[in-house]
Amino acid sequence: MRKMVLLLLFLITITVSAQETDHHVFTLTHNGVDRLYHVHLPENYNPDEPTPLLMVLHPMLSSANAIAGLTGFNQSDMIVVYPQAADAYWDDGRTAAGVPPVREPVDDIGFLNVLLDQLEADYNVSGVYLAGMENGGTMAYRMACEVPERFEAVAVVNTLLWQYHVENCPTATAPVNMFIVIGTENLNYPLEGRVVLLSLAESFKIFSLEETLAFWNERNACTERTDNEQTIVLSGCDNNDTTVAVYIVPGGGNNWYRTGDYGLNQVGVNATEMILAYFNGDDTWQAAPTREVTYEEGPPRTYRMYVPSTYSQDVPMPAVLALHGRTQNGAAMALTTEMNFYAERDGYIAIYPDGIDGGWSYLGDLMPSAFDSRVDDTIFLPQLIDDLAQDFNIDRSRVYVTGFSNGGFMTLRLACENYDDFAAFAVVGAAMYINMQEHCEGSPPVPILFINGTQDISTRWDGVQQEIGNGQFVMVSYSIIDTLIYWVQHNGCEPIDTSLIISEPEFPNDTGLIYSRFEQCADNAPAVEIYIVQNGGHNWMGVEGVLDPSIAGLVNTDLHATEAIWAFFQRHHLD
């Protein structure tokens, strides 16, 4: 087995620097499917000299270009390859185990092995390394189980073992150097582990950090353990040639940790630099964080993003923020909207932030007792764009926001307060909250699109009422028509005919679609637009089978909401 120390014998040092790389995009056909991968060659690459190769695997519902920009490994002195998953996730065995969202099985183990064979044939490779985050990290675990002899070392960020990994890991053929970076505030992979319940009869176990360590300890036959404040090192493995190391990030959430002039998630460690130090056998990876996260800073803010394969650092690209509904998260929004497909096809960056506790603070100042005072999403969301714009060439004149349900209410709040951050707004399955208009007074007209179903049982067509006792009710949100009237008046557009009648489809179990555009607005202000889904429920138009049918109701498939929203967005930009 090639050991990590072999790299040191060749006196090859892996560093990160602000240098240009030679970027190539290739496809490899595996099992009849064309698979995409990006290769970054260092500026000083010499085909006559051996160079280490690093493969980096992106999280679920993300992309190769996204993880490249977030990690910056492509600025190192390594050959760096970023493969693209064939579907929403890397199939590390989760499909056979039945972990949702269930897709057709994909031979990602075979694909990655064939890709490594191809890369070792194409380039003068001195040693192979593997890194991944979240689902990319679980795939890295699986590769370390299946073919440990291929890798000098493996690094995973914010990922612990699932039970199905352990059950399907073959007998060890070789030890493997393993480096785990994980945050104390990671809700997806808590240090104590968790059980994911699908039903009363079906569940999936995510191992704790100690259980994950115990697995790799036994597999590598380690004999010594050293615990420090943030680090754990298992050594004495395989005749002292192998280590298993952990860095626990205080205050860290489910992010790729970065340092620099960022406003969010500054935990004082740089995951990329730590991983490269570990790969080099350099103990500086054990350094304490350069800053302490305080309670007043609030919880870590997480997100996922998809950057299409056509992205170039030289050309500004538009971006869409997609805000999920209550009890959901960014991953659920990506699945609900199918936006990755359209982002790839139409050429924009899709960003899926996570709300705190499954929701957005659009009422934070109106109902302070119900929200964490440290959380202000009107600040977080523009700051997220500011941070990402440091690593991606985002066209700041073409950043848009759409939201579904609770995310739609947040979109309305942003339309009132953050009109100079975003170029247009699209609201799905939401309406105007009664007290929100005070935040809209004095704000300029904005381009805004609504998509609402007449049979939505969550955001009701006639408005939502709340009982306050003694049989009395108060309105919580306006009706859809009153919401539309408000925004038409706000933008100074031609008046709405209040006798507007929403006719019903010919068949009671069918849906229909009505599109209206209210224009001729004062001072050339943007129009207000709406798609009314007759008989439509609380869902994302065009996408069936994702949401609970008892909530979703009837889904209209005449038009895909994501496609309609992008067509609307394309007509608008900030001056």
Last residue of a domain, one of 279, 297, 315: 297
**Residues 483-514: tens digit of each pLDDT:** 999 999 999 998 877 555 566 666 677 899 99
Residue 21 has what pLDDT? 59
Same domain, 279 and 320: no
Strands 153-157 and 242-249: unpaired
**Residues 412-467: tens digit of each pLDDT:** 999 999 999 999 999 999 999 988 888 898 999 999 999 999 999 999 999 988 87
> Is a pLDDT exceeding 50 seen at residue 5?
no
**Amino acid of residue 222:** C
Beta bridge pairs of residue 125: 51
Residue identified by tokens 């709406």 is 530
Count of other CB atoms within 10 angstroms of residue 368: 11
**What is the spatial distance between Cα 145 and Cα 487, in angstroms, rounded to a whole number?**
57
Residue 14 has what pLDDT? 39
Rounded to the nearest 5°, which phi and psi values hold at 563? -65, -45
Same domain, 341 and 456: yes
Helices (H), 361-459: 377-388, 406-417, 437-440
DSSP structure class, residue 433: B
List, in order, residues 6 or more apart from 367 with CB less than 8 Å away: none
**270-288 as b/e, with b when 16 or more CB fall inside 10 Å?**
bbbbbbbbbbbeeeebbee
The domain spanning residue 319 has which CATH number? 3.40.50.1820
Residue identified by tokens 């914010």 is 158
| Closest by CA position to 525, among listed 415, 429, 442, 445 | 445
**Mean pLDDT value of segment 541-562:** 95
Rounded to the nearest 5°, which phi and psi values hold at 359? -150, 180
Say if 574 falls within a structural domain: no
**Residues 253-268: tens digit of each pLDDT:** 999 999 999 999 999 9
Residue 92 has what pLDDT? 97
Residue 2 has what pLDDT? 36
> Is a pLDDT exceeding 90 seen at residue 60?
yes
Same domain, 247 and 310: no
Domain span holding position 153: 4-297
Q: How far is the CA of 320 from the CAs of 59, 347, 537, in angstroms?
A: 19, 11, 24
Same domain, 421 and 454: yes
> Is a pLDDT exceeding 50 seen at residue 233?
yes
Say if 514 falls within a structural domain: yes
List, in order, residues 6 or more apart from 26 with CB less than 8 Å away: 36, 37, 38, 39
**What is the spatial distance between Cα 452 and Cα 434, in angstroms, rounded to a whole number?**
18
Q: How far is the CA of 81 from the CAs of 52, 62, 570, in angstroms?
A: 11, 15, 33
- Residue 532 token pair: 């009314």
Residue 121 has what pLDDT? 97
Same domain, 52 and 111: yes
**Residues 192-224: tens digit of each pLDDT:** 999 988 777 788 999 999 999 999 999 999 999
Say if 330 falls within a structural domain: yes
**What is the spatial distance between Cα 357 and Cα 416, in angstroms, rounded to a whole number?**
24
**Mean pLDDT value of segment 242-249:** 97
Same domain, 128 and 251: yes
Look at residue 386 and give its three-state secondary structure.
helix
List, in order, residues 6 or more apart from 364 with CB less than 8 Å away: 371, 373, 375, 376, 377
**What is the spatial distance between Cα 454 and Cα 532, in angstroms, rounded to a whole number?**
7
Say if 575 falls within a structural domain: no
> Is a pLDDT exceeding 60 seen at residue 518?
yes
How many folded domains does the chain comprise? 2
Instruction: Please report the sign of the dihedral spanned by the C-alpha atoms of residue 520, residue 526, residue 531, residue 532.
Output: negative
Same domain, 335 and 441: yes
> Is a pLDDT exceeding 50 seen at residue 6?
no
Say if 10 falls within a structural domain: yes
Last residue of a domain, one of 297, 323, 341: 297
Q: What percent of the chain has pLDDT over 90?
A: 80
**Residues 350-361: tens digit of each pLDDT:** 999 999 999 998
pLDDT band at 369 (very low <50, low <70, confident <90, very high): low
Instruction: Please report the sign of the dihedral spanned by the C-alpha atoms of residue 180, residue 184, residue 186, residue 189.
Output: positive
Count of other CB atoms within 10 angstroms of residue 544: 13
Same domain, 249 and 354: no
**Mean pLDDT value of segment 156-184:** 95
Same domain, 360 and 275: no
First to last CA, the chain: 59
Say if 22 falls within a structural domain: yes
Same domain, 314 and 287: no
Same domain, 293 and 314: no
Same domain, 317 and 254: no
Determine the distance from the C-alpha atom of residue 58 to the mean position of all C-alpha atoms in its chain, rounded to a whole number. 10
Last residue of a domain, one of 270, 297, 324: 297
- Average confidence score pLDDT of the chain: 91
Q: What is the pTM of this model?
A: 0.93
**Mean pLDDT value of segment 283-298:** 93
pLDDT band at 381 (very low <50, low <70, confident <90, very high): very high
> Is a pLDDT exceeding 60 seen at residue 85?
yes
